């Protein structure tokens, strides 16, 4: 099959871009032809192609222009696979004018209330309205990345159940495994002799770093030698972390790495005793799954898709959303009991091997492709 994958922007460090790269790479290994089309490419991945548009600083106009321009050139492809709004409009155009099967991966949208920036809120409102309209304009099948998002498509967007199949994201089991060494990371950030808690993600409000930081003083009272490694950078909607650190008096316990290059991430996951992910919204949760795959237990909030990724009490501990007190207690428990922490980490690895591999993701994706490819060729 010839497959066109559409996402309007390929951002550096984006989880969705990582998904596109991993899936397309494995599709090509199986003999399929894959091209990725985008309006902006900040993170070049193999076989990606930029489709420039006029007036690309005008949000709605550029989305419509890209959709029309890209959608009309896809006549050579057997399947159009879109990712996120407004790329879904491109698939609508290709289906309507080129009679091409259109499937769409649904990654979901973080709640508008989680963003402080007016610009970001307006962007998310635009995405939600656009997606609500476009799901009714020509999508043959949806592939949400969790059952949580499957229910959202059915209940909130009115998509018929028979048009929705959950296709979990995968984890690279070779890259993220318990045999990796975190020695380089521990040496680089002077972590020797310390317990380590790791956070990896964007420093945006909805990723919840503020809840972890509020938990730090309580953790330090019980585990004085702990260091909190905060890995990631701010792109927009930035929190004032300096004021929080000063107010809480936790500067000596904090290590900020900034952006971590992709090739260093496996060693980063190998360094901590516990991975903490206090995100206020996740459609799947790649980073906690990668931590589990690395043999590290996870502490996170019990909501959205996180309970599908982290098994509470087995591969980590899930606590009530926004409750930094309970988060602190969970961190203390795992930091003080190495045996339990190690057992949860190993159980996490087994669960990832069973449920979240890229081969499973691609197997399930191809099944959906073939269903509509066969219809087109009968």
Q: 10-residue block means of pLDDT along the chain (378 residues)?
A: 93 87 96 94 88 77 83 91 88 90 92 72 75 82 97 94 97 97 96 97 90 98 98 74 93 94 94 97 96 98 98 98 97 98 98 97 96 70
Q: For residue 259, what are its two tokens?
A: 């952006």
Who's near 216: CB < 8 A, 6+ residues apart? 228, 248, 250, 253, 254, 328
- 199 within 8 A of 231, measured Cβ to Cβ: yes
Prediction pTM value: 0.91
CA 119 centroid distance within chain: 22
Spatial CA neighbour of 149 closest among 205, 102, 105: 105
Spatial CA neighbour of 377 closest among 94, 140, 78: 78
Rounded Cα distance, 100 and 80, in Å: 7
CA 144 centroid distance within chain: 12
Residue limits of CATH 3.40.50.2000 in the chain: 2-169+357-376, 183-355
Who's near 133: CB < 8 A, 6+ residues apart? none
pLDDT at 378: 46
Architecture of domain 2-169+357-376: 3-Layer(aba) Sandwich (3.40)
Cα end-to-end distance, the chain, whole Å? 15
CATH domain 183-355 topology:
Rossmann fold (3.40.50)
- Cis bond before residue 173 (omega within 30° of 0): no
Who's near 128: CB < 8 A, 6+ residues apart? 109, 112
pLDDT at 376: 59
List the beta bridge partners of residue 48.
36
């Amino acid at each position: 099959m010839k497959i066109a994958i559409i996402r309007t922007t390929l951002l550096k460090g984006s989880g969705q871009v990582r998904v596109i790269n991993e899936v397309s790479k494995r599709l090509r290994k199986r003999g399929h032809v894959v091209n990725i089309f985008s309006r902006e490419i900040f993170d070049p991945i193999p076989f990606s192609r930029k489709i420039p548009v006029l007036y690309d600083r005008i949000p709605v106009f550029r989305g419509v222009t890209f959709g029309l321009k890209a959608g009309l050139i896809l006549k050579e492809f057997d399947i159009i696979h879109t990712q996120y709004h407004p790329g879904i409009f491109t698939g609508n155009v290709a289906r309507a004018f080129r009679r091409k099967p259109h499937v769409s991966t649904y990654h979901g949208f973080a709640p508008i209330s989680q963003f402080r920036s007016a610009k970001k809120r307006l962007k998310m409102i635009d995405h939600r309205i656009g997606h609500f309209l476009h799901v009714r304009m020509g999508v043959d099948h949806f592939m949400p990345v969790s059952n949580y998002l499957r229910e959202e498509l059915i209940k909130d967007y009115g998509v018929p159940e028979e048009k929705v199949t959950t296709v979990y994201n995968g984890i690279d089991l070779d890259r993220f495994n318990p045999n990796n060494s975190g020695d380089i990371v521990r040496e680089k950030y002077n972590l020797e002799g310390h317990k380590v808690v790791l956070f990896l993600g964007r420093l945006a409000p909805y990723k919840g770093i503020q809840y972890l930081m509020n938990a730090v003083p309580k953790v330090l009272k019980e585990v004085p030698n702990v260091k909190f490694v905060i890995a990631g950078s701010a792109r927009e909607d930035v929190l004032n972390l300096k004021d929080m650190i000063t107010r809480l008096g936790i500067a000596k316990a904090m290590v900020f790495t900034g952006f971590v290059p992709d090739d260093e991430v496996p060693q980063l996951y190998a360094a901590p005793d516990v991975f903490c992910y206090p995100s206020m919204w996740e459609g799947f949760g790649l980073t906690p799954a990668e931590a589990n795959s690395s043999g590290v237990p996870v502490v996170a909030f019990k909501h959205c898709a996180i309970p599908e990724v982290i098994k509470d009490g087995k591969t980590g501990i899930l606590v009530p959303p926004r409750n930094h007190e309970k988060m602190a207690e969970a961190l203390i428990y795992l930091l003080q009991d190495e045996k339990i922490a190690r057992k949860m980490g190993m159980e996490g690895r087994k669960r990832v091997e069973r449920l979240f591999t890229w081969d499973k993701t691609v197997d399930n994706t191809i099944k959906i492709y073939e269903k509509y490819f066969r219809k087109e060729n009968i």
